[in-house]
Amino acid sequence: MKRKTWLKIGIGIVSVLLIIDIIASFYFYSLAIERGEKDFLNDNEDLEVSAETMDVLLEGGWREWVNEQKFEEWTMETEDNLELKGYFLEAEQPSDKVVVMAHGYLGHAMDMGLFGEYYYEQKGYNIFTADARGHGASGGDYYGFGWHDRHDYTAWIDRIVETYGKDTEIILHGVSMGAATMLMTAGEDLPDNVKAVIADSPYTSVHDLFAYQMDRMFNLPAFPFLPSTSVVTNIRAGYSLSEASALDQVKKADIPILYIHGTADTFVPTRMSKTLYNNTNSEAELMMVDGANHGEPYVVAKEKYIDSVNAFLKKHTDWQ
């Protein structure tokens, strides 16, 4: 009798834990992946930046510049029937060079105007940026964290080459989720037109990022919550957390990659860029910005940032 009693108790405990895990997995999917407002990021200490940086990000002159430009709006239908929006701005003087830019989590295409203004005004390049799945004017009820987006960007790249000719040269520049997106894209079979990648504050994989944040924000272990959340994500968004890996993709990359990361980044830890750098198959460089938090390097050390990007492009491409 005692054995049967303990067996029932054991089964009951396991059942309760399983129910808790299932509920938690849907909660975490809703929290981070399902499209919508994300209140958990409000007042998040890991995303705090200096007052000077906040002024630049929210009220910098680059925003006025963006509003003054006449971007050509592009529309693309994906294989899974989503309508995505992209925005192309032709250089004032004819140029065969295009900077393709990708924004971060919960952002939108025009956030990349922070970088686009420099590329356009100072370098005379064409620029292109797009609203990622689930962001801005693009369709989608989930955030892909770069995994499905990598195919979207290969399609955008193909369209750019088809529109502007086989001599078109392209570099990819992304920040945070956008950086991981560009790294995931770099692992695909890209045309020779793509010359280099600038990855600012990327993560190694969605699984690694979630594991880090789950511990930091909730003091919870990755197991069993991440495997079950991954199952829900696969069912509802069509990808698993472990397969969405920038790390696996850069191991296949054959184009030069410049990694940039702030030493004070606690939202996406600096070690992730170091890991990516150490595992990149192609030529790679790593630039650290002392004291910069997540996505802050360009504002904190703009001159160093620009000099490093220009030196990298001059060394690995024919871009001047």
Asked, for residue 40, whether it belongs to a domain, the answer is: no
Q: Sorting pLDDT into bands at 50, 70 and 90, what band is 179?
A: very high
Instruction: Give the CA diameter of the chain.
Output: 87
Domain of residue 228: give its range.
1-32+222-241
Say yes or no: 136 and 162 in one domain: yes
pTM of the model: 0.92
Tens digit of pLDDT for each residue in 258-276? 999 999 999 999 999 999 9
185 has pLDDT over 60? yes
Say yes or no: 254 and 169 in one domain: yes
Say yes or no: 226 and 165 in one domain: no
Q: How many domains does the chain have?
A: 2
Say yes or no: 22 and 165 in one domain: no
CATH number of the domain bearing residue 258 = 3.40.50.1820
Asked, for residue 38, whether it belongs to a domain, the answer is: no
Least confident of 47-51, 121-125, 177-181: 47-51
Asked, for residue 41, whether it belongs to a domain, the answer is: no
- The values of phi and psi at residue 257, to 5°, are -130, 130
Say yes or no: 22 and 137 in one domain: no
Say yes or no: 158 and 296 in one domain: yes
55 has pLDDT over 60? yes
CA distance 253 to 188: 7
Beta carbons within 10 angstroms of residue 278's beta carbon: 11
* Average pLDDT rounded to a whole number, residues 74-92: 96
pLDDT at 224: 84
Cβ burial 161-192 (10 Å sphere, 16+ → b, else e):
beebeeebbbbbbbbbbbbbbbbbbbbeebee
By C-alpha distance, which of 156, 178, 201 is closest to 297?
201
Asked, for residue 215, whether it belongs to a domain, the answer is: no
Tens digit of pLDDT for each residue in 188-225? 999 999 999 999 999 999 999 999 998 988 888 888 88
pLDDT at 3: 65
